[in-house]
Structure 1
Amino acid sequence: MPEGDSVWRAAARLHAALAGREVTLSDLRTPRLATVDLTGRTTLDVIPRGKHLLTRISGDGGLTLHSHLRMDGAWNVFAADEKWHGGPAYEIRAILGTESHTAVGYRLPVLELLRTADEDRVVGHLGPDLLGPDWDAAKAAANLLAAPERALGEALLDQRNLAGIGNVYKAELCFLAGVTPWTPVGQLPDPDTTTVRLAGAAHRLLSANTGRGETRNTTGIRRHGQALFVYGRAHRPCLRCGTPVRQAPQDDRPTYWCPRCQSGPTP
Protein backbone atom coordinates (compact mmCIF):
# COMPACT_ATOMS: atom_id res chain seq x y z
CA MET A 1 0.00 0.00 0.00
CA PRO A 2 1.49 3.39 -0.92
CA GLU A 3 2.57 5.81 1.77
CA GLY A 4 0.90 9.19 2.16
CA ASP A 5 3.69 11.00 0.32
CA SER A 6 3.14 8.80 -2.77
CA VAL A 7 -0.58 9.57 -2.76
CA TRP A 8 0.20 13.28 -2.31
CA ARG A 9 2.41 13.20 -5.42
CA ALA A 10 -0.28 11.35 -7.40
CA ALA A 11 -2.81 14.02 -6.45
CA ALA A 12 -0.39 16.77 -7.50
CA ARG A 13 0.11 15.16 -10.93
CA LEU A 14 -3.63 14.72 -11.45
CA HIS A 15 -4.37 18.25 -10.29
CA ALA A 16 -1.78 19.75 -12.65
CA ALA A 17 -3.20 17.80 -15.60
CA LEU A 18 -6.94 18.13 -14.95
CA ALA A 19 -7.84 21.03 -12.66
CA GLY A 20 -9.60 23.95 -14.31
CA ARG A 21 -10.06 22.07 -17.58
CA GLU A 22 -13.10 20.59 -19.29
CA VAL A 23 -13.42 16.83 -19.30
CA THR A 24 -13.37 15.71 -22.95
CA LEU A 25 -12.95 11.98 -22.34
CA SER A 26 -14.69 10.00 -19.59
CA ASP A 27 -14.70 6.24 -19.15
CA LEU A 28 -15.33 4.68 -15.72
CA ARG A 29 -14.94 0.93 -16.04
CA THR A 30 -16.76 -0.44 -13.03
CA PRO A 31 -20.29 -1.91 -13.20
CA ARG A 32 -21.83 0.75 -10.97
CA LEU A 33 -20.32 3.66 -12.95
CA ALA A 34 -20.30 2.17 -16.45
CA THR A 35 -23.05 4.50 -17.71
CA VAL A 36 -21.69 7.66 -16.07
CA ASP A 37 -20.50 10.33 -18.51
CA LEU A 38 -18.53 13.25 -17.09
CA THR A 39 -17.68 14.90 -20.40
CA GLY A 40 -18.48 18.61 -20.57
CA ARG A 41 -17.93 19.08 -16.86
CA THR A 42 -14.89 20.80 -15.34
CA THR A 43 -12.43 19.21 -12.93
CA LEU A 44 -12.20 21.65 -10.03
CA ASP A 45 -9.33 20.11 -8.08
CA VAL A 46 -7.73 16.86 -6.99
CA ILE A 47 -6.77 16.51 -3.34
CA PRO A 48 -5.28 13.73 -1.24
CA ARG A 49 -6.83 12.77 2.07
CA GLY A 50 -4.53 10.33 3.82
CA LYS A 51 -4.29 7.54 1.25
CA HIS A 52 -7.50 8.53 -0.55
CA LEU A 53 -7.76 10.60 -3.73
CA LEU A 54 -10.67 12.99 -4.21
CA THR A 55 -11.21 14.36 -7.72
CA ARG A 56 -13.81 17.12 -7.51
CA ILE A 57 -15.91 17.81 -10.58
CA SER A 58 -18.46 20.51 -11.39
CA GLY A 59 -22.18 19.99 -11.84
CA ASP A 60 -25.10 18.59 -9.84
CA GLY A 61 -24.04 20.59 -6.79
CA GLY A 62 -20.51 19.20 -6.97
CA LEU A 63 -19.36 15.63 -7.58
CA THR A 64 -16.31 13.77 -6.27
CA LEU A 65 -14.66 10.77 -7.89
CA HIS A 66 -13.21 8.90 -4.93
CA SER A 67 -10.39 6.41 -5.49
CA HIS A 68 -8.00 4.46 -3.29
CA LEU A 69 -4.85 2.77 -4.60
CA ARG A 70 -4.41 0.14 -1.86
CA MET A 71 -1.63 -2.29 -2.81
CA ASP A 72 -1.45 -2.17 -6.61
CA GLY A 73 -3.47 0.77 -7.90
CA ALA A 74 -1.97 3.68 -9.82
CA TRP A 75 -3.01 6.84 -11.63
CA ASN A 76 -0.79 7.65 -14.62
CA VAL A 77 -0.92 10.93 -16.54
CA PHE A 78 -0.11 11.12 -20.25
CA ALA A 79 0.08 13.84 -22.85
CA ALA A 80 -2.84 13.68 -25.25
CA ASP A 81 -0.73 12.08 -28.00
CA GLU A 82 1.32 9.81 -25.69
CA LYS A 83 0.95 6.04 -25.65
CA TRP A 84 -0.48 4.77 -22.37
CA HIS A 85 1.52 2.44 -20.16
CA GLY A 86 1.05 1.07 -16.67
CA GLY A 87 -0.58 -2.25 -17.36
CA PRO A 88 -2.75 -4.13 -19.86
CA ALA A 89 -5.96 -2.50 -21.04
CA TYR A 90 -8.12 -4.89 -19.01
CA GLU A 91 -6.63 -3.43 -15.79
CA ILE A 92 -7.82 0.10 -16.59
CA ARG A 93 -10.63 1.20 -14.28
CA ALA A 94 -10.93 4.93 -15.06
CA ILE A 95 -10.04 7.39 -17.80
CA LEU A 96 -10.40 11.16 -17.51
CA GLY A 97 -9.11 13.25 -20.38
CA THR A 98 -8.77 16.89 -21.39
CA GLU A 99 -7.57 18.40 -24.65
CA SER A 100 -3.97 18.23 -23.39
CA HIS A 101 -3.74 15.30 -20.96
CA THR A 102 -5.27 11.95 -20.11
CA ALA A 103 -5.33 10.43 -16.61
CA VAL A 104 -5.61 6.65 -16.57
CA GLY A 105 -6.35 4.71 -13.40
CA TYR A 106 -4.99 1.15 -13.31
CA ARG A 107 -6.10 -1.60 -10.91
CA LEU A 108 -8.13 0.78 -8.74
CA PRO A 109 -9.81 -1.37 -6.07
CA VAL A 110 -11.96 1.54 -4.91
CA LEU A 111 -13.70 3.83 -7.39
CA GLU A 112 -16.97 5.58 -6.64
CA LEU A 113 -18.79 8.76 -7.51
CA LEU A 114 -20.49 10.73 -4.77
CA ARG A 115 -21.63 14.23 -4.02
CA THR A 116 -18.82 16.44 -2.79
CA ALA A 117 -20.98 17.32 0.20
CA ASP A 118 -20.90 13.63 1.16
CA GLU A 119 -17.10 13.19 1.16
CA ASP A 120 -17.12 12.62 4.92
CA ARG A 121 -18.85 9.33 4.23
CA VAL A 122 -15.58 7.96 2.82
CA VAL A 123 -12.89 10.00 4.59
CA GLY A 124 -14.59 11.36 7.69
CA HIS A 125 -13.23 8.52 9.84
CA LEU A 126 -9.61 9.49 9.18
CA GLY A 127 -7.38 11.07 11.79
CA PRO A 128 -5.34 14.23 11.17
CA ASP A 129 -3.81 14.16 7.70
CA LEU A 130 -0.01 14.27 7.91
CA LEU A 131 0.17 16.23 4.66
CA GLY A 132 -3.12 18.09 4.90
CA PRO A 133 -4.29 21.46 6.20
CA ASP A 134 -5.91 19.76 9.19
CA TRP A 135 -2.63 18.36 10.54
CA ASP A 136 -2.64 18.43 14.36
CA ALA A 137 0.22 16.65 16.14
CA ALA A 138 -1.45 16.91 19.53
CA LYS A 139 -4.66 15.33 18.24
CA ALA A 140 -2.70 12.55 16.53
CA ALA A 141 -0.80 11.86 19.77
CA ALA A 142 -4.05 11.76 21.74
CA ASN A 143 -5.47 9.27 19.25
CA LEU A 144 -2.42 7.01 19.67
CA LEU A 145 -2.72 7.18 23.45
CA ALA A 146 -6.42 6.31 23.40
CA ALA A 147 -5.52 2.60 23.26
CA PRO A 148 -2.41 2.32 25.48
CA GLU A 149 -2.37 -1.48 25.25
CA ARG A 150 -2.07 -1.47 21.47
CA ALA A 151 1.25 -2.20 19.76
CA LEU A 152 2.85 0.99 18.45
CA GLY A 153 3.31 -0.38 14.92
CA GLU A 154 -0.37 -1.23 14.63
CA ALA A 155 -1.41 2.13 16.09
CA LEU A 156 0.74 4.04 13.60
CA LEU A 157 -0.81 2.18 10.67
CA ASP A 158 -4.36 2.84 11.86
CA GLN A 159 -5.52 5.69 9.62
CA ARG A 160 -8.11 6.68 12.22
CA ASN A 161 -5.24 7.82 14.46
CA LEU A 162 -3.26 9.76 11.86
CA ALA A 163 -3.61 9.48 8.12
CA GLY A 164 -0.74 8.78 5.75
CA ILE A 165 1.64 6.30 7.42
CA GLY A 166 2.36 3.03 5.64
CA ASN A 167 4.61 0.09 6.43
CA VAL A 168 7.82 1.90 5.49
CA TYR A 169 7.28 4.87 7.78
CA LYS A 170 5.97 2.61 10.53
CA ALA A 171 9.29 0.75 10.70
CA GLU A 172 11.37 3.91 10.37
CA LEU A 173 9.45 5.81 13.05
CA CYS A 174 9.73 2.95 15.54
CA PHE A 175 13.48 2.90 14.89
CA LEU A 176 13.76 6.64 15.46
CA ALA A 177 11.81 6.25 18.71
CA GLY A 178 14.19 3.47 19.83
CA VAL A 179 11.41 0.94 20.46
CA THR A 180 10.19 -2.17 18.67
CA PRO A 181 6.92 -2.05 16.73
CA TRP A 182 5.39 -4.47 19.26
CA THR A 183 5.86 -2.07 22.19
CA PRO A 184 2.48 -1.08 23.67
CA VAL A 185 1.85 2.64 23.26
CA GLY A 186 1.30 2.99 27.00
CA GLN A 187 4.74 1.49 27.71
CA LEU A 188 6.67 4.00 25.65
CA PRO A 189 9.18 6.08 27.62
CA ASP A 190 7.12 9.10 28.75
CA PRO A 191 4.17 8.22 26.48
CA ASP A 192 2.68 11.72 26.41
CA THR A 193 5.89 13.30 25.15
CA THR A 194 6.99 10.42 22.93
CA THR A 195 3.72 10.23 20.97
CA VAL A 196 3.85 13.98 20.24
CA ARG A 197 7.45 13.62 19.06
CA LEU A 198 6.52 10.62 16.91
CA ALA A 199 3.67 12.54 15.31
CA GLY A 200 5.97 15.47 14.64
CA ALA A 201 8.65 13.20 13.16
CA ALA A 202 6.08 11.54 10.90
CA HIS A 203 4.95 14.93 9.63
CA ARG A 204 8.52 16.06 8.94
CA LEU A 205 9.51 12.84 7.16
CA LEU A 206 6.48 12.68 4.88
CA SER A 207 6.70 16.40 4.10
CA ALA A 208 10.40 16.12 3.26
CA ASN A 209 9.72 13.22 0.90
CA THR A 210 6.90 14.77 -1.12
CA GLY A 211 9.47 16.23 -3.51
CA ARG A 212 11.79 13.23 -3.79
CA GLY A 213 9.78 11.04 -6.15
CA GLU A 214 9.81 7.37 -5.29
CA THR A 215 13.36 7.59 -3.88
CA ARG A 216 12.19 7.84 -0.28
CA ASN A 217 14.82 8.85 2.31
CA THR A 218 14.59 8.92 6.11
CA THR A 219 18.30 8.82 7.01
CA GLY A 220 19.60 11.89 5.23
CA ILE A 221 22.32 9.68 3.71
CA ARG A 222 22.61 9.94 -0.05
CA ARG A 223 24.69 6.82 -0.63
CA HIS A 224 23.06 3.94 -2.51
CA GLY A 225 21.27 1.46 -0.27
CA GLN A 226 21.36 3.68 2.81
CA ALA A 227 18.21 5.76 2.41
CA LEU A 228 16.26 3.86 5.10
CA PHE A 229 17.35 2.86 8.59
CA VAL A 230 15.71 -0.57 8.82
CA TYR A 231 12.91 -1.05 6.29
CA GLY A 232 13.88 -3.67 3.71
CA ARG A 233 17.25 -4.27 5.38
CA ALA A 234 16.64 -7.75 6.85
CA HIS A 235 19.97 -9.44 7.73
CA ARG A 236 21.93 -6.36 6.65
CA PRO A 237 23.84 -4.17 9.14
CA CYS A 238 21.95 -1.49 11.02
CA LEU A 239 23.18 1.86 9.75
CA ARG A 240 23.64 3.08 13.30
CA CYS A 241 25.23 0.17 15.18
CA GLY A 242 26.04 -2.52 12.60
CA THR A 243 23.85 -5.22 14.16
CA PRO A 244 21.95 -7.27 11.55
CA VAL A 245 18.41 -5.96 11.10
CA ARG A 246 15.68 -8.47 11.86
CA GLN A 247 12.34 -9.08 10.18
CA ALA A 248 9.07 -10.62 11.35
CA PRO A 249 5.40 -10.23 10.38
CA GLN A 250 3.15 -7.80 12.18
CA ASP A 251 -0.47 -7.74 11.16
CA ASP A 252 0.48 -9.81 8.07
CA ARG A 253 3.07 -7.28 6.91
CA PRO A 254 6.87 -7.60 7.02
CA THR A 255 8.24 -5.54 9.88
CA TYR A 256 11.88 -4.57 10.45
CA TRP A 257 13.80 -3.55 13.56
CA CYS A 258 17.29 -3.41 15.02
CA PRO A 259 17.58 -5.68 18.10
CA ARG A 260 20.25 -3.43 19.60
CA CYS A 261 18.95 0.07 18.87
CA GLN A 262 15.30 -0.73 19.63
CA SER A 263 14.10 -2.03 22.99
CA GLY A 264 10.82 -3.72 23.79
CA PRO A 265 8.93 -6.93 23.01
CA THR A 266 9.48 -8.92 19.83
CA PRO A 267 7.72 -11.99 18.35
Structure 2
Amino acid sequence: MPEGDTVLQTTERLRAALAGRTLTRFDLRVPRFATADLTGRTVLDAVPRGKHILVRFEGGLTLHSHLRMDGAWRVHAAGERWRGGPAHQIRAVLANARHTAVGYRLPVLELLRTRDEEKAVGHLGPDLLGPDWDPRRALRNLLADPDRPLGEALLDQRNLAGIGNIYKAELCFMARVTPWLPVGELPAPLATRLVTTAKQLLEANRDRPVRTTTTARTAPRGQGPRDRLWVHGRADRPCLRCGTPVRVADQGTRPTYWCPRCQSGPTG
Protein backbone atom coordinates (compact mmCIF):
# COMPACT_ATOMS: atom_id res chain seq x y z
CA MET A 1 0.00 0.00 0.00
CA PRO A 2 1.47 3.39 -0.95
CA GLU A 3 2.58 5.84 1.69
CA GLY A 4 1.03 9.28 2.08
CA ASP A 5 3.96 11.00 0.38
CA THR A 6 3.51 8.82 -2.73
CA VAL A 7 -0.19 9.68 -2.87
CA LEU A 8 0.63 13.38 -2.51
CA GLN A 9 3.13 13.25 -5.38
CA THR A 10 0.64 11.38 -7.57
CA THR A 11 -2.06 13.93 -6.81
CA GLU A 12 0.24 16.84 -7.60
CA ARG A 13 0.99 15.32 -11.01
CA LEU A 14 -2.73 14.96 -11.67
CA ARG A 15 -3.36 18.55 -10.59
CA ALA A 16 -0.59 19.91 -12.81
CA ALA A 17 -1.90 18.00 -15.84
CA LEU A 18 -5.65 18.42 -15.38
CA ALA A 19 -6.65 21.34 -13.16
CA GLY A 20 -8.09 24.33 -14.98
CA ARG A 21 -8.43 22.44 -18.28
CA THR A 22 -11.47 21.12 -20.13
CA LEU A 23 -11.89 17.39 -20.52
CA THR A 24 -11.82 16.04 -24.05
CA ARG A 25 -12.26 12.48 -22.83
CA PHE A 26 -13.75 10.92 -19.72
CA ASP A 27 -13.86 7.15 -19.52
CA LEU A 28 -14.49 5.07 -16.38
CA ARG A 29 -14.10 1.35 -16.99
CA VAL A 30 -15.99 0.08 -13.99
CA PRO A 31 -19.56 -1.25 -14.37
CA ARG A 32 -21.24 1.15 -11.97
CA PHE A 33 -19.97 4.29 -13.74
CA ALA A 34 -19.29 3.04 -17.25
CA THR A 35 -21.93 5.34 -18.76
CA ALA A 36 -20.79 8.49 -16.94
CA ASP A 37 -19.40 11.15 -19.29
CA LEU A 38 -17.96 14.46 -18.07
CA THR A 39 -16.43 15.41 -21.42
CA GLY A 40 -16.57 19.20 -21.81
CA ARG A 41 -16.37 19.90 -18.09
CA THR A 42 -13.45 21.65 -16.43
CA VAL A 43 -11.31 19.92 -13.81
CA LEU A 44 -11.25 22.21 -10.80
CA ASP A 45 -8.65 20.52 -8.61
CA ALA A 46 -7.05 17.30 -7.43
CA VAL A 47 -6.47 16.89 -3.70
CA PRO A 48 -5.04 14.10 -1.54
CA ARG A 49 -6.69 12.96 1.66
CA GLY A 50 -4.52 10.45 3.45
CA LYS A 51 -4.16 7.70 0.85
CA HIS A 52 -7.23 8.80 -1.11
CA ILE A 53 -7.28 11.01 -4.21
CA LEU A 54 -10.15 13.37 -4.99
CA VAL A 55 -10.40 14.90 -8.48
CA ARG A 56 -13.06 17.62 -8.54
CA PHE A 57 -15.00 18.76 -11.60
CA GLU A 58 -17.27 21.68 -12.33
CA GLY A 59 -20.87 20.84 -11.66
CA GLY A 60 -20.18 19.57 -8.15
CA LEU A 61 -18.79 16.12 -8.97
CA THR A 62 -15.72 14.34 -7.58
CA LEU A 63 -13.85 11.26 -8.76
CA HIS A 64 -12.65 9.35 -5.70
CA SER A 65 -9.87 6.78 -6.06
CA HIS A 66 -7.61 4.75 -3.78
CA LEU A 67 -4.44 3.03 -4.97
CA ARG A 68 -4.25 0.34 -2.27
CA MET A 69 -1.56 -2.24 -3.08
CA ASP A 70 -0.82 -1.82 -6.79
CA GLY A 71 -3.07 0.87 -8.25
CA ALA A 72 -1.46 3.74 -10.14
CA TRP A 73 -2.20 6.93 -12.03
CA ARG A 74 0.07 7.70 -15.01
CA VAL A 75 0.16 11.08 -16.72
CA HIS A 76 1.16 11.28 -20.40
CA ALA A 77 1.54 14.06 -22.90
CA ALA A 78 -1.14 14.11 -25.59
CA GLY A 79 -0.27 11.54 -28.25
CA GLU A 80 2.32 9.81 -26.05
CA ARG A 81 2.17 6.05 -25.72
CA TRP A 82 0.55 4.97 -22.48
CA ARG A 83 2.78 3.08 -20.06
CA GLY A 84 1.50 1.53 -16.88
CA GLY A 85 0.14 -1.86 -17.77
CA PRO A 86 -1.95 -3.74 -20.32
CA ALA A 87 -5.18 -2.18 -21.58
CA HIS A 88 -7.38 -4.54 -19.58
CA GLN A 89 -5.98 -3.05 -16.35
CA ILE A 90 -7.10 0.49 -17.22
CA ARG A 91 -9.91 1.72 -15.00
CA ALA A 92 -10.03 5.45 -15.83
CA VAL A 93 -9.00 7.83 -18.61
CA LEU A 94 -9.11 11.62 -18.12
CA ALA A 95 -7.80 13.65 -21.04
CA ASN A 96 -7.53 17.24 -22.23
CA ALA A 97 -5.78 18.85 -25.17
CA ARG A 98 -2.36 18.57 -23.53
CA HIS A 99 -2.36 15.57 -21.20
CA THR A 100 -3.96 12.20 -20.53
CA ALA A 101 -4.20 10.71 -17.04
CA VAL A 102 -4.69 6.94 -17.00
CA GLY A 103 -5.67 5.01 -13.87
CA TYR A 104 -4.48 1.40 -13.69
CA ARG A 105 -5.70 -1.37 -11.36
CA LEU A 106 -7.64 1.09 -9.17
CA PRO A 107 -9.53 -1.04 -6.62
CA VAL A 108 -11.58 1.94 -5.46
CA LEU A 109 -13.05 4.24 -8.11
CA GLU A 110 -16.31 6.08 -7.69
CA LEU A 111 -18.01 9.23 -8.91
CA LEU A 112 -19.80 11.16 -6.18
CA ARG A 113 -21.15 14.57 -5.39
CA THR A 114 -18.43 16.88 -4.10
CA ARG A 115 -20.66 17.72 -1.15
CA ASP A 116 -20.59 14.01 -0.25
CA GLU A 117 -16.80 13.59 -0.15
CA GLU A 118 -16.89 13.12 3.60
CA LYS A 119 -18.81 9.89 3.09
CA ALA A 120 -15.67 8.53 1.41
CA VAL A 121 -12.94 10.09 3.57
CA GLY A 122 -14.67 11.39 6.70
CA HIS A 123 -13.56 8.36 8.71
CA LEU A 124 -9.89 9.29 8.36
CA GLY A 125 -7.80 10.65 11.19
CA PRO A 126 -5.65 13.78 10.89
CA ASP A 127 -3.72 13.82 7.61
CA LEU A 128 0.05 13.95 8.17
CA LEU A 129 0.46 15.99 4.97
CA GLY A 130 -2.88 17.79 5.04
CA PRO A 131 -4.19 21.10 6.33
CA ASP A 132 -6.18 19.27 9.02
CA TRP A 133 -3.09 17.88 10.76
CA ASP A 134 -3.59 17.88 14.52
CA PRO A 135 -0.85 16.09 16.49
CA ARG A 136 -2.82 16.06 19.75
CA ARG A 137 -5.81 14.42 18.12
CA ALA A 138 -3.55 11.95 16.30
CA LEU A 139 -1.89 11.02 19.59
CA ARG A 140 -5.24 10.52 21.32
CA ASN A 141 -6.42 8.31 18.48
CA LEU A 142 -3.24 6.27 18.52
CA LEU A 143 -3.46 5.59 22.24
CA ALA A 144 -7.22 4.98 22.37
CA ASP A 145 -6.79 1.19 22.43
CA PRO A 146 -3.87 0.54 24.84
CA ASP A 147 -3.67 -3.18 24.09
CA ARG A 148 -3.35 -2.78 20.34
CA PRO A 149 0.08 -3.49 18.80
CA LEU A 150 1.83 -0.30 17.79
CA GLY A 151 2.31 -1.38 14.17
CA GLU A 152 -1.41 -2.03 13.72
CA ALA A 153 -2.32 1.28 15.34
CA LEU A 154 0.05 3.21 13.06
CA LEU A 155 -1.44 1.61 9.94
CA ASP A 156 -5.03 2.35 10.99
CA GLN A 157 -5.92 5.39 8.89
CA ARG A 158 -8.67 6.28 11.35
CA ASN A 159 -5.95 7.20 13.84
CA LEU A 160 -3.70 9.27 11.59
CA ALA A 161 -3.75 9.21 7.81
CA GLY A 162 -0.73 8.64 5.59
CA ILE A 163 1.40 5.93 7.22
CA GLY A 164 1.98 2.74 5.23
CA ASN A 165 3.97 -0.41 5.86
CA ILE A 166 7.34 1.24 5.18
CA TYR A 167 6.90 4.12 7.59
CA LYS A 168 5.40 1.77 10.17
CA ALA A 169 8.62 -0.26 10.31
CA GLU A 170 10.86 2.80 10.16
CA LEU A 171 9.02 4.67 12.90
CA CYS A 172 9.13 1.68 15.23
CA PHE A 173 12.86 1.32 14.62
CA MET A 174 13.48 5.01 15.28
CA ALA A 175 11.45 4.71 18.50
CA ARG A 176 13.54 1.60 19.43
CA VAL A 177 10.45 -0.55 20.04
CA THR A 178 9.00 -3.45 18.07
CA PRO A 179 5.78 -3.13 16.05
CA TRP A 180 4.14 -5.66 18.40
CA LEU A 181 4.54 -3.52 21.52
CA PRO A 182 1.10 -2.57 22.93
CA VAL A 183 0.67 1.16 22.42
CA GLY A 184 -0.32 1.56 26.06
CA GLU A 185 3.22 0.57 27.06
CA LEU A 186 4.78 3.50 25.21
CA PRO A 187 6.09 6.12 27.66
CA ALA A 188 4.22 9.39 27.12
CA PRO A 189 7.26 11.35 25.84
CA LEU A 190 8.07 8.56 23.35
CA ALA A 191 4.50 8.42 22.06
CA THR A 192 4.52 12.17 21.51
CA ARG A 193 7.89 12.00 19.77
CA LEU A 194 6.64 9.17 17.55
CA VAL A 195 3.80 11.30 16.18
CA THR A 196 6.17 14.24 15.67
CA THR A 197 8.68 12.03 13.86
CA ALA A 198 5.96 10.63 11.59
CA LYS A 199 5.10 14.15 10.48
CA GLN A 200 8.76 15.03 9.96
CA LEU A 201 9.45 11.92 7.86
CA LEU A 202 6.54 12.42 5.49
CA GLU A 203 7.28 16.12 5.14
CA ALA A 204 10.93 15.40 4.38
CA ASN A 205 9.95 12.93 1.66
CA ARG A 206 7.02 14.74 0.09
CA ASP A 207 9.17 16.01 -2.80
CA ARG A 208 11.84 13.31 -2.95
CA PRO A 209 11.87 10.90 -5.91
CA VAL A 210 13.33 8.19 -3.65
CA ARG A 211 12.10 7.81 -0.08
CA THR A 212 14.77 8.21 2.60
CA THR A 213 14.47 7.83 6.37
CA THR A 214 18.16 7.70 7.23
CA THR A 215 19.93 11.05 7.20
CA ALA A 216 23.47 12.35 7.19
CA ARG A 217 23.04 13.21 10.85
CA THR A 218 21.72 9.86 12.02
CA ALA A 219 23.04 7.27 9.55
CA PRO A 220 26.38 5.51 10.06
CA ARG A 221 29.39 6.21 7.90
CA GLY A 222 29.62 4.15 4.77
CA GLN A 223 25.92 4.46 3.99
CA GLY A 224 25.25 3.55 0.37
CA PRO A 225 22.36 4.08 -2.02
CA ARG A 226 20.73 0.85 -0.82
CA ASP A 227 20.75 2.14 2.74
CA ARG A 228 18.04 4.80 2.48
CA LEU A 229 15.80 2.92 4.93
CA TRP A 230 16.72 1.71 8.40
CA VAL A 231 15.04 -1.70 8.39
CA HIS A 232 12.26 -2.03 5.81
CA GLY A 233 13.25 -4.45 3.06
CA ARG A 234 16.53 -5.30 4.80
CA ALA A 235 15.75 -8.84 5.99
CA ASP A 236 18.96 -10.69 6.96
CA ARG A 237 21.10 -7.65 6.14
CA PRO A 238 23.06 -5.91 8.91
CA CYS A 239 21.25 -3.29 10.96
CA LEU A 240 22.65 0.12 10.04
CA ARG A 241 22.94 1.00 13.72
CA CYS A 242 24.32 -2.15 15.37
CA GLY A 243 25.11 -4.68 12.64
CA THR A 244 22.68 -7.35 13.85
CA PRO A 245 20.79 -9.05 10.99
CA VAL A 246 17.39 -7.46 10.47
CA ARG A 247 14.46 -9.81 10.90
CA VAL A 248 11.12 -10.01 9.12
CA ALA A 249 7.77 -11.52 10.10
CA ASP A 250 4.15 -11.02 9.15
CA GLN A 251 2.06 -8.60 11.13
CA GLY A 252 -1.47 -9.15 9.97
CA THR A 253 -1.25 -9.58 6.20
CA ARG A 254 1.97 -7.61 5.70
CA PRO A 255 5.64 -8.25 6.39
CA THR A 256 7.26 -6.08 9.01
CA TYR A 257 10.96 -5.59 9.69
CA TRP A 258 12.81 -4.94 12.90
CA CYS A 259 16.21 -5.20 14.57
CA PRO A 260 16.12 -7.69 17.47
CA ARG A 261 18.92 -5.82 19.25
CA CYS A 262 17.94 -2.18 18.77
CA GLN A 263 14.20 -2.62 19.33
CA SER A 264 12.66 -3.82 22.59
CA GLY A 265 9.28 -5.45 23.06
CA PRO A 266 7.45 -8.59 21.92
CA THR A 267 8.13 -10.00 18.45
CA GLY A 268 6.03 -11.75 15.82
Fold similarity call, TM over 0.5: yes
Q: Residue 54 of structure 2 aligns to a residue in which SS?
A: strand
CA distance, structure 1, for counterparts of residue 225 and residue 9 of structure 2: 23
Specify the code of the residue in structure 2 equivalent to 1:226. D
CA distance, structure 2, for counterparts of residue 109 and residue 265 of structure 1: 34
Counterparts in 2 of 1:20-39, with a 5 A limit? 20-39=20-39
Question: Gapped runs of 5+ residues in structure 1?
Answer: none
How far is the alpha carbon of 1:195 from its aligned partner?
2.0
Aligned: 1:166 with 2:160: no
Q: Partner residue of 1:249?
A: 250
Specify the code of the residue in structure 1 equivalent to 2:13. R
CA distance, structure 1, for counterparts of residue 13 and residue 192 of structure 2: 31
CA distance, structure 2, for counterparts of residue 193 and residue 125 of structure 1: 27
Specify the code of the residue in structure 1 equivalent to 2:21. R
Specify the code of the residue in structure 2 equivalent to 1:95. V
Q: Partner residue of 2:102?
A: 104
Specify the code of the residue in structure 2 equivalent to 1:259. P
Q: Deviations over 1:130-182 (max 9, x none)?
A: 00000111111110110011000000000000000000000000000010000
Question: Gapped runs of 5+ residues in structure 2?
Answer: 217-222
Q: Deviations over 1:181-237 (max 9, x none)?
A: 00000111x2x3222211111111011111112x11000156211100000001110
Specify the code of the residue in structure 2 equivalent to 1:218. T
Q: Residue 119 of structure 1 aligns to a residue in which SS?
A: helix
Specify the code of the residue in structure 2 equivalent to 1:263. S
May I ask how many residue pairs the two structures share in their alignment?
262
Q: Deviations over 1:68-104 (max 9, x none)?
A: 0011100000000211010011110000001100000
CA distance, structure 2, for counterparts of residue 196 and residue 11 of structure 1: 29
Aligned: 1:218 with 2:218: no
- Residue of structure 1 aligned with 2:185, choices 184, 187, 198: 187
CA distance, structure 2, for counterparts of residue 223 and residue 244 of structure 1: 17
CA distance, structure 1, for counterparts of residue 67 and residue 97 of structure 2: 26
- Residue of structure 1 aligned with 2:122, choices 116, 121, 124: 124
CA distance, structure 2, for counterparts of residue 266 and residue 171 of structure 1: 13
Q: Residue 164 of structure 1 aligns to a residue in which SS?
A: coil
Q: Partner residue of 2:219?
A: none
Q: Residue 261 of structure 1 aligns to a residue in which SS?
A: coil
Q: Partner residue of 1:72?
A: 70
Give the fraction of aligned pairs with identical amino acids, expressed as a percent. Answer: 68
TM-score (norm 2): 0.96
CA distance, structure 2, for counterparts of residue 75 and residue 233 of structure 1: 28
Q: Residue 13 of structure 1 aligns to a residue in which SS?
A: helix
Q: Partner residue of 1:200?
A: 196
Specify the code of the residue in structure 2 equivalent to 1:261. C
Q: Deviations over 1:99-146 (max 9, x none)?
A: 100000001111000001100101000000000000111111110110
TM-score (norm 1): 0.97
CA distance, structure 1, for counterparts of residue 19 and residue 195 of structure 2: 31
Q: Deviations over 1:30-83 (max 9, x none)?
A: 111111001111100000100000000011xx1100000011100000000211
CA distance, structure 1, for counterparts of residue 152 and residue 224 of structure 2: 30
Q: Partner residue of 2:230?
A: 229
CA distance, structure 1, for counterparts of residue 66 and residue 72 of structure 2: 9
Q: Partner residue of 2:91?
A: 93
Alignment RMSD (CA, Å): 0.8
- Of the structure 1 ranges 195-204 and 227-236, higher mean CA displacement relative to structure 2 is found in 195-204
